[in-house]
Copies of this chain bind each other. A is one copy, B any other.
Amino acid sequence: YGKNTIKFLRLHREGKKHFVKEVEVCTHLRLTSAQEYLDGNNSLVIPTDTIKNIVLVLAKKKGIPTLEQFAIDICKHFMTTFCQVVYVKTYVQEVPWQRLHENGVPHIHSFIYVPDGIRFCEAEQCRNGPLVVFAGIKDLKLMKTTQSGFEGFFKNEHTTLPERNDRILCGELFCKWSYGEYKDFDFDCIWYTNKIRECILEAFSGPPDCGEYSPSYQKTVNSIQMLILSKVSQVQVIEVVLNNTFYNVLDMKNLGLTNDKEVLVPVEAPYGSCACTLGRKKFLEA
């Protein structure tokens, strides 16, 4: 049990310059006993209202140095404060405020909402177990209008899809990686120095002057994973889910026109999905 979507803004000021972190936090606990389920005995139950208070108090006292550190602080607090807690998990998601710029000059206190991918993290711990930290990005929508195909697939009497070597690849990415057992990482440094987001964009799209051919969604997913594992040594395991939207080249023959991939109609349902989890020892599961 726990509390979901605890939303708040943490405002930090340095002189006249303002810094904002707006987050949504979900914190879930498992207790030593289940007597509240079985007998209605609430004596060990930490109300979800108290969970909310603790999250807000930690934000006030410690701030949000990084999303990951904040999730870790929350987990540690519950584990050290409440002996009846046997498991704690905290998810933190960032509201994508970006500092406004006017003619290249950053504004000291104005921000714009730019949801081109949402950063999140997760920390979890079992009593007597390690504190494990995850991070990720979701709702990142990308499109490439060529250098994508799908050929040589398995065919039988139910196959109607034609082979294509030049199609649009468009999809929404969910990437989540594990930093393994908690160490004293500088998580924002990993994010910014190793340019994890840029890795994803680069593996998806290839070099800016020519792109790189993708023979399947699966291979694109794998390319993203391989690039991050090679560039970011702290990442232990990475899961990528690609939900793709098919763009149908409209047949305009009955309207007397030849459509040379100029007008395409997105097919939002059904949509294909492929997921893969890849670790450092080449452990693989789809």
Contact yes or no, A147 B115, CB < 8 A: no
Task: Contact check, B102 vs A198: say whether CB atoms are below 8 A apart.
Answer: yes
- Asked if B143 and A111 sit within 8 Å, CB to CB, the answer is yes
CB neighbours (8 Å) of A114 from chain B are 114, 116
- In the complex formed, the residue of B with least CB distance to A159 is B50
* Residue tally, chain A, CB below 8 Å to B: 126
Q: Which of B4, B9, B202, B259 contacts A264 (CB 8 A)?
A: B9
Q: How many copies does the complex hold?
A: 4
> Closest residue to A2 on the B side, CB-wise?
B273
Give, as a whole number of angstroms, the nearest-CB distance from A222 to chain B: 4
Name the residue of chain B whose CB is nearest to the CB of A272. B48
Q: Which residues of B contact A31 (CB under 8 A)?
A: 286
CA A59 to CA B257, docked complex, whole Å = 12
| A18 within 8 A of partner (CB) | yes
Question: Which residues of chain B are near A286, meaning CB under 8 Å?
Answer: 1, 30-31, 34, 37
Residue of B nearest to A141 (CB): B113
Measured in the bound complex, the distance between the Cα atoms of B270 and A44 in whole Å is: 22
Which of B20, B108, B146, B156 is the one whose CB lies under 8 Å from A210? Answer: B108
Interface-side segment among A67-75, A122-130, A211-219:
A211-219
Interface residues of A in 16-42 (CB under 8 A from B): 16, 18, 20, 22, 28, 30-31, 34, 36-38, 40-42
| Chain A contact residues, CB within 8 Å of chain B | 1-12, 16, 18, 20, 22, 28, 30-31, 34, 36-38, 40-50, 52-54, 56-57, 59-61, 81-82, 84, 97, 100-102, 105-116, 140-147, 150-154, 156-161, 168, 198, 201-202, 204-211, 215-219, 221-222, 243, 247, 250, 252, 254-257, 259, 261-266, 268-276, 284-286
